[in-house]
Chains A and B, each alone.
Chain A
Amino acid sequence: MTREPLRARLLPPLLVFALVVLLWQLLCTAFALPVYLVPSPARVAAAAFANAGNLATATALTATAAVLGLLVSLTLGTAIAVLFSQSRLLARSLYPYAIFLQTVPIVAIAPLIVIWFGTGLTSVVLVAVMISLFPVITNGTTGLTRVDPQYLELFAMRDASRRQVLLKLRLPGAVPYIVTGAKVSSGLAVIGAIVGEFFAGYGSAGYGLGFLILQTSGQLRTADLFAAILACTLLGLLMFSAVSLLGDLILRRWRGRELEA
Chain B
Amino acid sequence: MPVPSTDLSPGPAPLVLARGLSLRFPGGLLALDGIDLELRRGELLAIVGPSGCGKSTLLRAVAGLLPTTGGTLTVAGLTPELARRQWGRQAFVFQDPTLLPWRSVHDNVRLPLELGRYLKTDPKNDLKNDPQPDPEAAVARVLALVGLQEFAGAHPAELSGGMRMRASLARALVTRPELLLLDEPFGALDELTRERLDQELLGLWQRDGFAALAVTHSLAEAVLLADRVLVMRPRPGRITHTLTIDLPRPRPPEIQTTPAFTALLADLRARIQEST
Report which A residues bind B (CB closer than 8 A).
148, 150-151, 153-161, 164, 168-169, 172-173, 175, 254-260
Q: B93-124 toward A: CB 8 Å interface, digit per residue (1/0)?
A: 01110101110100000011011111000000
Docked pose: A173 CA to B92 CA in angstroms:
21
Given contacts A158-B112, A159-B116, 17 further A-B contacts (CB under 8 A): A148-B96, A148-B98, A150-B95, A150-B96, A151-B98, A153-B63, A156-B65, A157-B90, A158-B117, A159-B84, A164-B115, A164-B116, A255-B102, A255-B155, A256-B101, A258-B158, A259-B157
Q: Which residues of A contact B100 (CB under 8 A)?
A: 151, 168-169, 172-173
Is B88 a contact of A159 with CB atoms below 8 Å? yes
Please name 11 pairs of A and B residues whose Cβ atoms are closer than 8 Å in the assembled complex, sorted by A: A150-B94, A154-B94, A156-B65, A157-B65, A157-B90, A159-B115, A168-B111, A254-B101, A255-B101, A255-B155, A260-B157
Is B116 a contact of A160 with CB atoms below 8 Å? yes
Q: Does B91 contact A (CB under 8 A)?
A: yes
Is B102 a contact of A254 with CB atoms below 8 Å? yes
Is B91 a contact of A256 with CB atoms below 8 Å? no
Q: Which residues of A contact B158 (CB under 8 A)?
A: 256-258
Q: Which residues of B contact A259 (CB under 8 A)?
A: 157
Q: Is the interface of B mostly helix, strand, loop or mixed?
A: loop
Q: Count B interface residues, CB 8 Å.
A: 30
What are the 10 A-B residue pairs with the smallest beta carbon separation, nearest first? A256-B155, A158-B115, A159-B116, A158-B116, A160-B115, A254-B102, A150-B94, A159-B85, A256-B157, A157-B92
User: Min CB distance, B51 to chain A, in Å?
Assistant: 17
Docked pose: A257 CA to B65 CA in angstroms:
35
Q: Does B156 contact A (CB under 8 A)?
A: yes
Given A255-B157, A258-B157, A156:B84 Cβ within 8 A: yes
Q: Which residues of A contact B91 (CB under 8 A)?
A: 157
User: Min CB distance, A243 to chain B, in Å?
Assistant: 20
Least CB separation from A175: chain B residue: B102
Q: Which residues of B contact A175 (CB under 8 A)?
A: 102
Is A172 a contact of B102 with CB atoms below 8 Å? yes
Q: Does B8 contact A (CB under 8 A)?
A: no
User: Min CB distance, A100 to chain B, in Å?
Assistant: 33
Is B98 a contact of A159 with CB atoms below 8 Å? no
Docked pose: A43 CA to B29 CA in angstroms:
75
Q: Does B144 contact A (CB under 8 A)?
A: no
Q: Does B260 contact A (CB under 8 A)?
A: no
Least CB separation from B156: chain A residue: A256
Report which B residues bind A (CB closer than 8 A).
60, 63, 65, 84-85, 88, 90-92, 94-96, 98, 100-102, 104, 111-112, 114-118, 154-158, 175
Docked pose: A151 CA to B92 CA in angstroms:
11
User: Min CB distance, A149 to chain B, in Å?
Assistant: 10
Q: Which residues of B contact A157 (CB under 8 A)?
A: 63, 65, 84, 90-92, 112
User: Min CB distance, A17 to chain B, in Å?
Assistant: 37
Q: Which residues of A contact B65 (CB under 8 A)?
A: 153, 156-157
Q: Which residues of B contact A255 (CB under 8 A)?
A: 101-102, 155, 157
User: Min CB distance, A173 to chain B, in Å?
Assistant: 8
Choice from B94, B112, B117, B156 contacting A153 with Cβ under 8 Å: B94
User: Min CB distance, B23 to chain A, in Å?
Assistant: 16
Is A155 a contact of B115 with CB atoms below 8 Å? yes
Docked pose: A258 CA to B111 CA in angstroms:
22
User: Min CB distance, B177 to chain A, in Å?
Assistant: 10
Q: Which residues of B contact A158 (CB under 8 A)?
A: 88, 111-112, 115-118, 175
Q: Which residues of B contact A151 (CB under 8 A)?
A: 98, 100
User: Min CB distance, B116 to chain A, in Å?
Assistant: 4
Given A148-B98, A157-B91, A158-B88, A256:B154 Cβ within 8 A: yes
Docked pose: A258 CA to B158 CA in angstroms:
6
Docked pose: A160 CA to B114 CA in angstroms:
9
User: Min CB distance, B108 to chain A, in Å?
Assistant: 10
Least CB separation from B66: chain A residue: A153
Docked pose: A256 CA to B154 CA in angstroms:
7
Is A154 a contact of B92 with CB atoms below 8 Å? yes
Q: Which residues of A contact B84 (CB under 8 A)?
A: 156-157, 159
Docked pose: A243 CA to B50 CA in angstroms:
50
Docked pose: A165 CA to B123 CA in angstroms:
23
Docked pose: A52 CA to B158 CA in angstroms:
49
Q: Which residues of A contact B112 (CB under 8 A)?
A: 157-158
User: Min CB distance, A258 to chain B, in Å?
Assistant: 5
Docked pose: A199 CA to B158 CA in angstroms:
52
Q: Which residues of B contact A161 (CB under 8 A)?
A: 116
Is A154 a contact of B98 with CB atoms below 8 Å? yes
Is B114 a contact of A168 with CB atoms below 8 Å? yes
Q: Which residues of A contact B85 (CB under 8 A)?
A: 159
Q: Which residues of A contact B60 (CB under 8 A)?
A: 153
